[in-house]
């Protein structure tokens, strides 16, 4: 199958909608990352998503909507969800709600709940309207790889497996949506994102954070298979250039070609070192670091680095989402 990257003009949006109604897959931009979409009420179509990504079938998909009136068919709208819709939708937030019988088990991995989201992206909204059904979509990467934030990144992972990628340019936020479960007594954040705990608490009152997010993996040496670049990554939870120099020296003594992914501030302090530098932005600008994070990781696919040393950021606000992804991408974690 030939994979085309198409400009989001009306004719192409219509073609994408038709493909969805025919039970096929389409990759599309959102404000967070690119999604790999299928008709969310068509079990056979949704199964194609798992096959194309190599995704385990028990990892549920999120349903994407363009309009609130369409949600009722798929999910029971709880009062907390109504408040969140009013405050943050469209936007980078997924709300977990009880599902209806119309949502196939293939979408939810057999769960009785479903994730609901309204992307804040004109191309995504036009595409969902053209398809005229909820769009089930995970991120449009091969399972285990960094999520794609450009059409080219989708192409690199899914070339030959899907017919079209709608081109919406680079994604605004760059990390996946915040996921909040409102089916429990106290709402719980299952994945951190651009809508922070503090923002949710303003609307809902008390909000918990799932232990899977806060449980810091025992360092060093825990292995992950998420968001991973093609070579091992050591996350250094510090901006101290002395620690980086020490690690670079040790690795160079083993004849390793060392890549460093970090802030501009740190890279400029390491300019004497023999490294392959990739900067993810300025330390003070977490928004740009989030937006550049996955592309920075993917940059190393085409560079000769044999190991990546990555600088951590402060674990607060949007930094929580960035650190969550970096820890999952890491093979080793070093702390001060
Ligand atoms: P992705 O869009 O690739 O980031 O994947 C969607 C993610 O949403 C899954 O990996 C789950 O963590 C989460 N998710 C989707 N539906 C549910 C649900 N019903 N309950 C809990 N988590 C969910
Ligand atoms: Mg994903």
Say which CATH number the domain at 308 has.
3.40.50.11030
Q: Whose CA is nearest to atom 14 of ligand 1?
A: 60
For residue 63 the two structure tokens come to 């349903």
- Give 190 Cα–ligand 2 centroid separation in angstroms: 14
Q: Whose CA is nearest to atom 19 of ligand 1?
A: 114
**Ligand 1 near 5 CB (within 6 A):** no
- Regarding whether 126 and 248 lie in a shared domain, the answer is no
- Regarding whether 241 and 201 lie in a shared domain, the answer is no
What is residue 212's predicted lDDT score, i.e. its pLDDT?
81
What span, in angstroms and rounded, lies between the C-alpha atoms of 35 and 61?
10
Asked whether residue 317 is assigned to any structural domain, the reply reads: yes
- Regarding whether 184 and 254 lie in a shared domain, the answer is no
Ligand nearest to the CA of 177: 1
- Give 238 Cα–ligand 1 centroid separation in angstroms: 30
- Regarding whether 183 and 281 lie in a shared domain, the answer is no
* C-beta separation of 118 from 84 below 8 A: no
Which ligand 1 atom lies nearest to the CA of residue 141? 3
Neighbours of ion ligand 2 (CB under 5 A): 138-139
- Give 1 Cα–ligand 1 centroid separation in angstroms: 28
For residue 122, give the nearest of 86, 76, 169 by alpha carbon.
169
For residue 168 the two structure tokens come to 């919406």
pTM as predicted: 0.96
What span, in angstroms and rounded, lies between the C-alpha atoms of 60 and 58?
6
- Regarding whether 247 and 200 lie in a shared domain, the answer is no
- Regarding whether 241 and 101 lie in a shared domain, the answer is no
For residue 183, give the nearest of 266, 79, 265, 258 by alpha carbon.
79
- Regarding whether 94 and 34 lie in a shared domain, the answer is yes
What is residue 157's predicted lDDT score, i.e. its pLDDT?
98
Asked whether residue 225 is assigned to any structural domain, the reply reads: no
Instruction: Report how many domains make up the chain.
Output: 2
Helices (H), 205-317: 211-214, 241-253, 264-269, 286-299
- Give 298 Cα–ligand 2 centroid separation in angstroms: 15
**Ligand 1 near 210 CB (within 6 A):** no
* Mutational pocket test of ligand 1: of 75, 81, 98, 115, the residue with most ligand atoms within 8 Å of the beta carbon: 115
Asked whether residue 219 is assigned to any structural domain, the reply reads: no
Which ligand 1 atom lies nearest to the CA of residue 35? 2
Asked whether residue 304 is assigned to any structural domain, the reply reads: yes
Laid out side by side, the sheet with 332-335 consists of 276-281, 258-263, 307-311, 233-237, 332-335
Asked whether residue 220 is assigned to any structural domain, the reply reads: no
Host domain of residue 205: 4-209
- Regarding whether 291 and 240 lie in a shared domain, the answer is yes
- Regarding whether 266 and 145 lie in a shared domain, the answer is no
Asked whether residue 228 is assigned to any structural domain, the reply reads: no
- Give 190 Cα–ligand 1 centroid separation in angstroms: 9
pLDDT tens, N- to C-terminus, the chain (336 residues): 999 999 999 999 999 999 999 999 999 999 999 999 999 999 999 999 999 999 999 999 999 999 999 999 999 999 999 999 999 999 999 999 999 999 999 999 999 999 999 999 999 999 999 999 999 999 999 999 999 999 999 999 999 999 999 999 999 999 999 999 999 999 999 999 999 999 999 999 999 999 887 665 554 445 446 888 999 999 999 999 999 999 999 999 999 999 999 999 999 999 888 999 999 999 999 999 999 999 999 999 999 999 999 999 999 999 999 999 999 999 999 987
């Amino acid at each position: 199958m030939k994979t085309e990257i198409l400009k989001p003009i009306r004719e192409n949006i219509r073609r994408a909608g038709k493909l969805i109604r025919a039970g096929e897959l389409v990759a599309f931009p959102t404000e967070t990352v690119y999604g790999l979409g299928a008709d969310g009420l068509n079990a056979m179509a949704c199964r194609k998503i798992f096959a194309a990504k190599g995704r385990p079938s028990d990892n549920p998909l999120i349903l994407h909507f363009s309009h609130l009136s369409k949600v009722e068919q798929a999910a029971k709208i709880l009062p907390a969800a109504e408040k969140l819709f009013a405050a943050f939708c469209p936007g980078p937030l997924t709300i977990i709600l009880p599902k209806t019988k119309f949502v196939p088990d293939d979408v939810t991995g057999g769960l009785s709940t479903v994730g609901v989201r309204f992307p804040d992206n004109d191309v995504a909204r036009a595409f969902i309207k053209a398809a005229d059904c909820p769009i089930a979509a995970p991120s449009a990467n091969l399972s285990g790889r960094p999520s794609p934030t450009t059409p080219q990144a989708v192409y690199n992972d899914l070339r030959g497996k899907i017919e079209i990628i709608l081109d919406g340019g680079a994604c605004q936020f760059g990390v996946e949506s915040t996921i909040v479960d409102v089916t429990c007594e106290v709402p719980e954040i299952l994945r951190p994102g651009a809508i922070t705990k503090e923002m949710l608490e303003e609307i809902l009152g008390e909000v918990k954070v799932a232990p899977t997010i806060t449980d810091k993996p025992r360092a060093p040496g825990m292995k992950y298979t998420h968001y991973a670049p093609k070579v091992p990554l050591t996350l250094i939870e510090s901006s101290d250039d002395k620690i980086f120099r020490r690690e670079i020296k040790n690795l160079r003594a083993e004849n390793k070609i060392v890549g460093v992914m970090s802030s501009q501030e740190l890279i400029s302090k390491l300019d004497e070192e023999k490294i392959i530098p990739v900067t993810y932005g300025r330390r003070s600008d977490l928004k740009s670091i989030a937006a550049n994070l996955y592309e920075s990781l993917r940059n190393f696919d085409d560079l000769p680095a044999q190991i990546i040393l990555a600088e951590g950021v402060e674990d607060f606000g949007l930094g929580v989402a960035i650190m969550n992804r970096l820890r999952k991408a890491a093979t080793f974690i070093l702390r001060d």
